[in-house]
Structures are given as structure tokens and as C-alpha cells.
Structure 1
Amino acid sequence: MTAFDPTDYLPDDLLERIRDRAVVHDRENTFPQDDLDELRAAGYLAVLVPTERGGAGLGLEQAALLQQRLATASPATALAINMHLVWTGVAKVFSDRGVTGMEFVQDGAAAGEVFAFGISEGGNDLVLFGSDTDAVPQPDGGYSFTGTKIFTSLAPVWTRLGLHGLDTTSEDAPKLVFAFIERTDAVVTSDDWDTLGMRGTQSRTTRLNGAMASAEHVVRRIDPGPNPDPIVFGIFSVFEILLASVYTGIARRALELAVATAQTRRSKKSGTSYSQDPDIRWRIAEMALAYDALPPQISVLSRDVDDLADHGPRWFPLLSGVKHRAVVMAKQVVDEAMLVAGGGSYFTSNELSRLYRDVLAGMFHPSDPESAHSTSASAWLGPLES
């Protein structure tokens, strides 16, 4: 078997163009349309789509490696593309397990459509297990959705939005409904993305005013709350692994920049490069030791998803744990890289300054630190006594 080479999908010259544009989109608070156009032309939107449906046929393990590499050039571009890849990854989880209903996602991605992720809602810490969005059943089997979604990455460009809402009126209600809508007048995208970092994602607020999902695009109706349904496992597994990949990519880039700086900066005191300073060497070693733990963890967990491994209830602490560790590690590595680079890294024109701001977003993605710790505690200690 030929070894997987990420440069086949993300060659160095493409990565450099994306890196050059990242500073502009961060400064101007704009969406990286050129990045999307080049990635779409390269087939990147369909890397998780089976070859028989027009995609590259890669597994989650390979996609995770690609996202780590893309994040070294532009974390915001990688995070935005993540949300599209989540849905193609969920479609792969379905097809790998013989579950039908998401083939249209694979076909759409192969045709160049852009899928966005409309799950997050302000104040809804149930996340996948509940929704404040009203899902109203229609006579033809479709649903209309009314509510507000936040952090909708790819907001200016998506062609289909995967979302969930709560059906409270059907005979078997309540049911959580997962479906896909198209962009119509019933969807209002606010121009409200003006953030500290990850500015290029353009993760704006989306207001739904009776937005329609046709019957064939309603992919799941499940009971609210923790649920073993494939839609919950699919979203949670792909989302957490690809998030961990993006932030691990940020750490990789920060480490590279710190090494380059240590090799070029010279000390007035000693006359040697900073790479010969014992304190700097220790700091970079600390960064490397922290970073080196994450890529193998991501690789093993994503391979287990691809190979249909059965971790039972252990899946959730494993997945939330790898995302949490990746974010904590990445923040630590970027902090250390800033210190290695010195005061020049404090200027906004410095790439480390952007990484420093971008990495902070990791704490706000599910699973947040509180949820990750609660999940892990329950796995080891059992649930809280009532």
C-alpha cells in the first residue's frame, strides 16, 4: 500500500498562497474566498466522499492529517472547512455502517456544494441533545425551522446548512430533527462576526424564519437527550477529531516559528544564536514534548472511527478528551512560542500574534473544558448521585 502523502492534496505552493492570504483576511475581517475556490478545485471538499460517488475516498485519519497541515497555513480557513468536512464525515460514518440517508451530502460535496454546520445555539449547553429551534412538521414529510443558530462558519458561502430543531407537535413528540436546508429568503445571515481571532471563518449568526427542509433532506428524528443514534456518534466523533486536528496544526506552526526564530536571533551577551541558550532550548523542548503527544492520539482515534471499532460508552470521554488536550496543548505551545520569539511577536503583523488570538477560540468549541471534565469524571467515577 502506498503511504499517504498530504502534499498530494495540499502541495507546498498552495499552502504558501493560503498562508499569504491569511494575514489579509484576519486584518480585513473577510472570508477567504480564494482559499475556498482553490481547495474546491483541488477536490478538497470531497476528500471524505467515496470514489464511487466522485470523491477521493479518504478516511477520517487521512482527513485529520490534512486539516493539521492546512491549519499551519491558515487556522481560520481550516476551521471553516472543518464544518463542511464534519457533514461529509458524518455521511461516511453512515455509509460505513450501512446507514442510508446522507448520500445527497456526498453527491453534493463531489459537485462542489458547501455544507455548513448549524447546531450551536446561544445558551443551549445541551448541544446535540436538545434544541431551542422549532421544527414544525409539514404535510409532505418535510420540516420548517424557526430559531437562531450562532457560530455558523462559512456563513457567506454555504449552499446547504445542516441543523437540528425540536419537534414538539407530532404524535410521538418531542423529537430532535436533523435536516438540511438551502439558502432562501427564510434564512437571514447577520453581519456580526467581528472577533478577537479566527476572523476568516466568518462564523456569523443565522436566523431561521420558517426555513424549509424537504422530506428527502430530513436525515434523522430521534429522542432528545443522550442517544446511541448514528447521527449523534457521527457528529460527535468527526467534529471532535477534526477540531483537535486544527488546533494541533496551530501548535505545529507555532513550534516551527519558534525554532526558526531561535536559530536566527543572536544574543548580544553571548554572541551566539538563541538556539544555544539553555533556557530557550528547554522551552522549545517543552513545546515539542507537549505537541508530540497529540498527532498519534488523533491518528489512533480517527482510525478507530474508520475501522468501526467499538469503544461503547468510552467513545465520549475519548473524543472529548482528545479535543480538550489538543486545545490546552496548542495554547501552551503558542504561549511558549511568543516568549521564544520575544517582543516582536506582540505586533499584529507577526504571524505568532495571529496564532495567539486564533488559538483562544478552541476553548469555546464543544466539548468545552467543563463538559470534557464532566464526561471523564462520569466515565471513571460513575454518574453523580441524585
Structure 2
Amino acid sequence: MHYLDASFIKTKIQADRLKLADELKILFSKRAAKHDEEATFPFDNFDNLKEYGFTHLTVPKKYGGKELSLYEFLQIQERIAQGDAATALSLGWHLGIIMNLRETNKWPQGLFEKVCKEIITENKLINSAATEPRSGSPARGGKPETTAELINNRWVLNGKKTYASLAPALDYFIITATIIESGSVAEFLVSKGAEGLKIEETWDTLGMRATRSDDLILTNVTVEKEALIGTREKAGKPKPQGWLLHIPACYVGVAMAARNEAIQFSKDYQPNSANHPICEFPEVQQKIALMEIELMTTRQFMYSTAERWDQANKEERERMGTDLAAVKYVATNSSVKVVDLAMRIVGAHSLSKSSPMQRYYRDVRAGLHNPPADEMTLKVLAKRALGS
């Protein structure tokens, strides 16, 4: 067991599950460069995740899943991300959606049971498509410009969604839309292959290239009346959602991968100007120590918050929004620092396209742009401190 994990693995079940995750991590790391360079979705990685049962992990036990806690979910995310961050982030959306539905019971029970059983028996995948070009992230409270209209007792959806991670592999899309008649914001469950649903391949980014977070175009997509799965009278900021900690866990995994790469490099690399590897230089040891401090403090914060969430009741969870946002802020910014320190240890070698370090450098910065945004977190922290 890696010493950094010693205080976070609490049960034999967790340890055994993480051994399987380590097998996948090694496998995914061998494919990561190719998927990154070509910006291809890692279907092969998801075949392995399905084979190992990892797409079932947050499904309730009564439907055949493992019903992972948030704490255990983050362990998996962190470990898979060490092999391939794009795969981990994509998996996290699927697992997190199911965890959130399990905890909130906001779907009709029969529909949730149906989807869960399809995940177990048919390895189906699901994600939400909520972000839009003009409204931005739903975390900012914007109202969807995608519309829904009830025509001949069926819903007709029109609009455009952006950042639809996992899009090429999804079986179900949760689409947010504004109902034309009432102005209410609603969610609709749309199956892949629905007529008028099109994936527009626009994803060509600096980092997280293999998530294939392409645009989703809806042109008169017609679904049954029962596809409406929830409404609210007006758009607003969502309640605290613990499952979104899968985002910082992913980027902490990237930082750990960079840390491991840098430490191994420092042990192996010996310039001809020295009679020992660079790990013996005080300035290198200082950078290693700084990486350790960042990871130790960040992970303690992240896992202790996840544990609080798992143990909290509904009312307590509703008071945890600021803490959840703070975890994301600390973890993503700390992970950027760790990768930067790791690259300083490796030096110019880290800029080579053959080095995974340059991919870690690009991928970890994507975390700064996942919700919630840093300025929003700082604003709510300041207001809380000021008592407003």
C-alpha cells in the first residue's frame, strides 16, 4: 500500500476494490497518450470498466449495484485518474448522476429502477447535458435556452448543449429545457438514437481531450410525455451535491500521477556533473516535500468532507454547499501546484511529447474551469465569514 493512501483505505473491501482499480490504471496509462493525441473517446477503457463492473458501482444494492459511498467513489476516481484523467472524469459523470438520483429520490421509482437494471444488465451509460453556449454552466443559475413544447401529447425539444462529456458512448441523455407554455425548467430523459438528436464533433481542446465533450444538437426531438422527469418553476442554484466531488478527486489523481513520475525520475536521473541521482539534491528534495504537503492537506480535506457528507442527514447536507465548493477550489488549485513542482523536478524533459508530464500539465488545468468557478467559491466563503 502506498503510504499516501494508508490513512484513507479503511476496509479490506476498499483495498480489494482499489487493487482492481490499479489494474485498470496501469492498462489505461498505456493508452492515454494515443487517446490524448488523437482526441478519441476511450471506448476500450470503458469496455474494461464495464468488464470489471466499475460502471455499476453507485447503483443501489437492491438493483444489483455496489451502492458506493461518496468516500469510496472518490477513491476510485482518484485511482483511475492516475492512469487516464479523461476516462476518470467521464466515468465520474455517469457514476455521480446515479449516486445523486439514489440519494435524492427525485425520479419516479419505476424509471430509476429500469435505468439501474439496464446499467447492470446492459452496461448502459448516462450523463446530463445542461450547459449551453449562452447560459454557461448550470451552477451560475442561467435558464436553459433549449425549449420543450407539448404537441399532440408528446414533448418536442429544440436547442443546443455544450460540454456533453461521454457523448459518443452515452445511452441516455438528461436534457434540461425551458417549457414554452409555463416557463418552468424541466429535465427530460432522451435515449440515444432519438430522431433529431445529433452529436456535433466540436471538441478540440488543450486538455481532457479524450472526454469528447462535444456539442449536442436537438432539432424537433420528439419524446413521450413520460420523458419529463422533473420540473422547477424557475432556474436557480442547485442544492449542495456531494457527488460533484468526483471532479476534484479526478484532478488530485492527475497530481498524484505527476508526483509519482517526478519522484521516479529523480531517483533514476543522474547527470554526468554529479556522482548521485538528482533526488539527493536539497533543492529537489524541497520540491518533493512541497508536493507531499499539498497532497496530504488536500486529500485530508477532501476525504474528511466526503465522510461528513456520508454521515450527514438531509438538513446537514443542505448546509455543506460552501464546504463542497471549498474542496473543489483547494483540490484543483493544489493539483496545479503539484504538477508544476513535478515538472520543475523533471525539467525540460517534461516538455517532451513522449513524456506524460506534458499531458498532466494540460489535463490538470481543465479542473480550474469545472464548476464551481473559483470566483464563485471565494465570494460565498467571504460572505459566510462576514456573516451575510
What is the TM-score when the length of structure 1 is the normalising length? 0.89
Q: State the aligned residue count.
A: 372
Report the alpha carbon displacement of residue 11 of structure 1 after superposing the two structures with TM. 4.3
Partner of 2:288: 284
Tell me the alpha carbon deviations over residues 287-344 of structure 1, each in whole angstroms, 9 at most, x when there is no partner: 1101112222222222333334333654221111111111101111111111101111
Distance 1:147 1:155, change over 3 A: same
Distance 1:316 1:193, change over 3 A: same
Whether contact under 8 Å (2:24, 2:80) holds in the other structure is: no
Over 6 Å off, 4+ runs = none
Name the CA distance, whole Å, in 2 between partners of 1:237 and 1:145. Answer: 30
Partner of 1:133: 146
Report the alpha carbon displacement of residue 178 of structure 1 after superposing the two structures with TM. 1.8
Partner of 1:220: 230
Report the alpha carbon displacement of residue 57 of structure 1 after superposing the two structures with TM. 2.2
Name the CA distance, whole Å, in 2 between partners of 1:199 and 1:6. Answer: 30
The answer as to 2:130 corresponding to 1:119 is: yes
Partner SS, residue 362 of structure 2 = helix
Match of 1:18 among 17, 22, 28: 28
Name the CA distance, whole Å, in 1 between partners of 2:225 and 2:310. Answer: 29
The answer as to 2:361 corresponding to 1:347 is: no
Partner of 1:321: 326
Distance 1:99 1:214, change over 3 A: closer
Unpaired runs of 5+ residues, structure 2, are 1-9
Name the CA distance, whole Å, in 1 between partners of 2:361 and 2:201. Answer: 24
Over the matched positions of the two proteins, sequence identity in percent amounts to: 24
Report the alpha carbon displacement of residue 84 of structure 1 after superposing the two structures with TM. 0.9
Distance 1:166 1:250, change over 3 A: same
Match of 2:364 among 353, 359, 364: 359
Unpaired runs of 5+ residues, structure 1, are none
Name the CA distance, whole Å, in 1 between partners of 2:317 and 2:51. Answer: 39
Tell me the alpha carbon deviations over residues 211-246 of structure 1, each in whole angstroms, 9 at most, x when there is no partner: 24434443221132436xxxx337x3312x000110
Q: Give the AA of the match of 2:172.
A: R
Report the alpha carbon displacement of residue 163 of structure 1 after superposing the two structures with TM. 2.3
Name the CA distance, whole Å, in 1 between partners of 2:150 and 2:386. Answer: 41
Whether contact under 8 Å (1:88, 1:105) holds in the other structure is: no
Whether contact under 8 Å (1:314, 1:379) holds in the other structure is: no
Alignment of structure 1 residues 79-90 onto 2, 5 Å? 79-90=89-100
Tell me the alpha carbon deviations over residues 120-159 of structure 1, each in whole angstroms, 9 at most, x when there is no partner: 112324615322211223554x633211111111111111
Name the CA distance, whole Å, in 1 between partners of 2:39 and 2:285. Answer: 36
Distance 1:107 1:303, change over 3 A: farther
Q: Give the AA of the match of 1:81.
A: L
Q: Give the AA of the match of 1:175.
A: S
Match of 2:165 among 153, 158, 175: 153
Distance 1:6 1:108, change over 3 A: farther
Tell me the alpha carbon deviations over residues 163-207 of structure 1, each in whole angstroms, 9 at most, x when there is no partner: 2111241xxx33111221112231110111111111111110111
Whether contact under 8 Å (1:43, 1:56) holds in the other structure is: no
Q: RMSD over aligned Cα, in angstroms?
A: 2.3
Q: Give the AA of the match of 2:208.
A: M
Name the CA distance, whole Å, in 2 between partners of 1:285 and 1:193. Answer: 37
Match of 2:383 among 375, 378, 381: 378
Whether contact under 8 Å (2:302, 2:331) holds in the other structure is: no
Distance 1:126 1:244, change over 3 A: closer
Distance 1:7 1:137, change over 3 A: farther
Partner of 1:368: 373
Partner of 1:182: 191
Name the CA distance, whole Å, in 2 between partners of 1:43 and 1:381. Answer: 47
Name the CA distance, whole Å, in 2 between partners of 1:24 and 1:246. Answer: 20
Q: Give the AA of the match of 2:340.
A: D
Partner SS, residue 198 of structure 2 = strand
Q: Give the AA of the match of 1:136.
A: E
